[in-house]
Amino acid sequence: MYLTMENQIVPEFTELEWRLALSRARTPKSQAPSVRTADDRATPDTIAPERLRLASAGIKYLSAIIQQLVELRKEAESDEYGTLRASQHAFDIACHLVTDAAIISACDGRQIPRGCTSTDSQGGVRIEWVRPTASVHLVIPASSNRDGYIYHEVADRHGTEPASPDRLASRLGAVS
């Protein structure tokens, strides 16, 4: 069933669907083999259990991106080129933005697309969605001293804007 809100058709979820989704999110699942739970290289800061559950929840593309972020958070601290491990700040902000963008996209009847994560030389996080005709790049600095931003290109048009879940969900529509 769909609701019409401000000239947009929005899917309406039944109470049963909401309860099932909530139950799945709360139910601990066995760890997926690719999500390591212990690593001597890991930072002493722990990763919140809800992030680990999202990484192994099987939500198309969202789980894969969160899992990649978890792996970046567990990387060795650095190598000869700079920092490898995502900073706690960059990890938290990236998880928040991607998760909220996925929820907003779902309300619009879309899924977030497959993306690729990496760190910069200071521990900031980059998530890129690149397609032949469009690309979206989410850039989150290692510390809160600088704001994250979204760089986007569609054909010959491009721009940069402050990162927010709404803007990210909107821009990801071009690469879906």
> What is the dihedral sign for C-alpha 94, 129, 104, 55?
negative
Angle (CA) 166 168 172, round 5°? 120
Helix (H/G/I), strand (E/B), else coil: 150: strand
Which segments in the chain show pLDDT lower than 50?
A: 1-5, 10, 31-37
* Token code pair at residue 125: 């996080």
Residue among 129, 119, 121 nearest 150 (CA): 129
Q: Is residue 83 part of a domain?
A: yes
pLDDT at 53: 66
Residue 7 lies inside a defined structural domain of this protein: no
* Assigned domain for 3 exists: no
Domain-located, residue 4: no
Is 104 part of a structural domain of the chain? yes
pLDDT of residue 56: 60
What integer pLDDT is reported at residue 107 of this predicted model? 81
Report how many domains make up the chain.
1
What are the structure tokens assigned to 153, written together?
Answer: 């290109």
- Cα–Cα distances (Å) from 158 to 69, 112, 147, 164, 166, in that order, read 26, 20, 19, 17, 18
For tokens 């947009």, what's the residue? Answer: 8
Q: Is residue 34 part of a domain?
A: no
Within a domain: 38: no
Q: How many CA atoms lie within 13 A of 10 on its CB side?
A: 13
Write out the residue range of the structural domain in which residue 61 sits: 13-26+46-172
Residue 1 lies in a domain: no
Q: Which two tokens stand for residue 140?
A: 């989150």
